[in-house]
């Protein structure tokens, strides 16, 4: 047994060394591993939203209750993640990730077994388990010269997977699987490939000395360190998080009630329409946000990311105006609205916090800042869901969604402009002089 263990350790080291010596291969490996892991995780989270779910005494509002139950667990997980992800040691990520995924699938099995409407609480447990997954995957990717491109691919996974898993869920319903058992059935299909992608994550080498010099070393951060960081940049961070909160609310409504929105637009959603629309959104988001990794200067990249956020919010306004004037149809409206939301949403994930840490040379990690933003964002979404309990498939949903979208995009744009003014006045330490080897050399 000891010989086999020694051989296994040798193989792990040799594969990591092989990837470390070949940056292009390493980048491709990271993209496949991160994209695959998070896309498969969505197979345990989102398929249930493809169903209608009606149950007394809620009627059509039972689906809103289920969404709220999962979001409540997801939100609590994000608040817990502010500490857990910030303090997580790299050696603990893989086992934690697999344990959370297993717990999420068990909750879906129990969802099918427990009678309606009492099974709604099981989606709370599902959300509680899955809310930490993004931070664990992000920990494998941050602090690298190609972090924006890698995290853009990670974010593209949840854009594409949101549509793919809805399509899978709807296909299972049409195949005769009941609404109660469809989520667990769909999740089971994704478990095996997910395990393989997590194995790939485990093989990713740590950032190189050149990565650390360019982006700063990423370390676990204790409570005092977290508070000190947030206090130093509080005005700018609050404004960014306010914009992120509103964008999260709009993005989540669009994702969780996509069938109702398509219906309000006069299009009955076929399984493929969810995937097709999100593929176009993901392509646009990946193309724009991934290019930020080509900007070496951290200050320029940070403000470029804020500009990308502003452009996306203007696109949201343009999509709403085009729909109201009848100049664009249902499909281009959903794509443009989604692209306009995901451009800033993904820019926060890929570039804004990543480059802020690199620019300030502060101790810490992106996962900490992302979980602060996500905790606030999902808390806001939960508040909207409670306030709009009756937002279901009725004819009032689309007009209210458009009204919220216009107001949210306007407020977010103003908040980001003010944040840019704040960070433009901050004095940053000089960046280290670094000669970066061309990509593809050892």
CA nearest 391: which of 201, 264, 207, 225? 264
Per-residue pLDDT of the chain (442 residues; tens, 9 = 90+): 444 454 455 444 568 888 888 888 999 999 999 999 999 999 999 998 888 787 666 666 688 788 889 989 999 999 999 999 988 899 999 999 999 999 999 999 999 999 988 898 999 999 999 999 999 999 999 989 888 889 888 888 888 888 888 889 989 999 999 999 999 999 999 999 999 999 999 999 999 888 888 887 888 888 888 888 888 999 999 999 999 999 999 998 898 788 878 888 888 656 678 788 888 998 898 888 877 878 889 999 999 999 999 999 999 999 999 999 999 999 999 999 999 999 999 999 889 999 999 888 888 788 889 999 999 999 998 888 777 655 444 446 788 889 999 999 999 999 999 999 999 998 877 655 444 444 444 3
Alpha-carbon distance of 345 to 312, in angstroms, equals 9
Q: Which of 339, 357, 332 is nearest to 428 (CA)?
A: 357
Spatial separation of the C-alpha atoms in residues 303 and 114, rounded to whole Å: 50
Cα distance between the two ends of the chain: 35
User: What is the DSSP code (8-state) at residue 233?
Assistant: T
3-class SS of residue 67: helix
CB 5 within 8 A of CB 127: no
Q: Is 357 exposed, middle or buried (0-12, 13-18, 19+ CB in 10 A)?
A: buried
Architecture field, domain 17-204+216-424: Up-down Bundle (1.20)
CB atoms within 10 A of CB 329: 13
357: nearest Cα among 218, 182, 180 = 218
Q: Is 91 exposed, middle or buried (0-12, 13-18, 19+ CB in 10 A)?
A: exposed
Delimit the domains of the chain by residue range: 17-204+216-424
CA 70 to chain centre: 16
Backbone phi and psi for residue 124, each to the nearest 5 degrees, phi listed first: -60, -45
> Model's pTM, two decimal places?
0.79
* Closest C-alpha among 207, 164, 168, 206 to residue 13: 206
Proportion of the chain above pLDDT 70, given as a percent: 89
């Amino acid at each position: 047994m000891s010989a086999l263990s020694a051989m296994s350790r040798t193989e792990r080291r040799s594969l990591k060394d092989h990837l470390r010596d070949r940056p292009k291969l390493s980048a491709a490996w990271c993209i496949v591993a991160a994209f695959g892991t998070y896309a498969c995780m969505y197979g345990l989270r989102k398929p249930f939203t493809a169903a209608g779910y009606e149950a007394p005494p809620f009627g059509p509002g039972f689906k809103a209750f289920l969404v709220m139950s999962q979001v409540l667990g997801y939100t609590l997980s994000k608040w817990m993640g502010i500490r857990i992800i910030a303090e997580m040691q790299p050696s603990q990520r893989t086992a934690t990730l697999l344990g959370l995924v297993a717990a999420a699938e068990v909750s879906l099995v129990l969802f099918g077994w427990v009678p309606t409407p009492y099974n709604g609480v099981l989606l709370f447990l599902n959300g509680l388990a899955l809310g930490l997954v993004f931070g664990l995957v992000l920990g494998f990717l941050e602090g690298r010269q190609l972090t924006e491109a890698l995290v853009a691919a990670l974010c593209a996974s949840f854009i594409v997977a949101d549509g793919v898993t809805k399509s899978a869920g709807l296909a299972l319903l049409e195949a005769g699987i009941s609404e109660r058992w469809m989520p667990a059935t769909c999740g089971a299909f994704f478990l095996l490939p997910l395990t393989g992608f997590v194995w790939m994550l485990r093989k990713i080498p740590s950032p190189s000395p050149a990565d650390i010099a360019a982006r700063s070393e990423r370390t676990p951060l204790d409570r005092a360190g977290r508070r000190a960081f947030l206090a130093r940049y509080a005005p700018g961070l609050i404004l960014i998080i306010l914009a992120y909160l509103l964008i999260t609310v709009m993005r989540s409504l669009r994702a969780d009630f996509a069938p109702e929105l398509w219906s309000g637009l006069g299009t009955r959603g076929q399984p493929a329409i969810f995937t097709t629309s999100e593929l176009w959104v993901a392509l646009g988001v990946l193309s724009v946000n991934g290019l930020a990794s080509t900007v070496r200067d951290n200050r320029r990249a940070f403000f470029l990311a804020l500009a990308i956020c502003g452009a996306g919010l203007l696109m949201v306004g343009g999509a709403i105006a085009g729909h109201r004037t009848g100049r664009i149809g249902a499909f281009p409206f959903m794509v443009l609205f989604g692209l306009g939301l995901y451009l800033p949403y993904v820019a926060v994930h890929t570039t804004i916090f990543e480059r802020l840490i690199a620019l300030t040379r502060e101790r810490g990690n992106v996962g900490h800042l992302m979980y602060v933003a996500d905790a606030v964002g999902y808390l806001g979404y939960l508040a909207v869901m409670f306030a709009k309990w009756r937002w279901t498939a009725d004819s009032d949903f689309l007009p209210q969604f458009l009204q919220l979208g216009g107001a949210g995009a306007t407020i977010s744009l103003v908040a980001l402009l003010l944040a840019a003014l704040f960070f433009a006045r901050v004095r940053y330490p000089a960046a280290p002089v670094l000669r970066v080897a061309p990509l593809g050399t050892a």
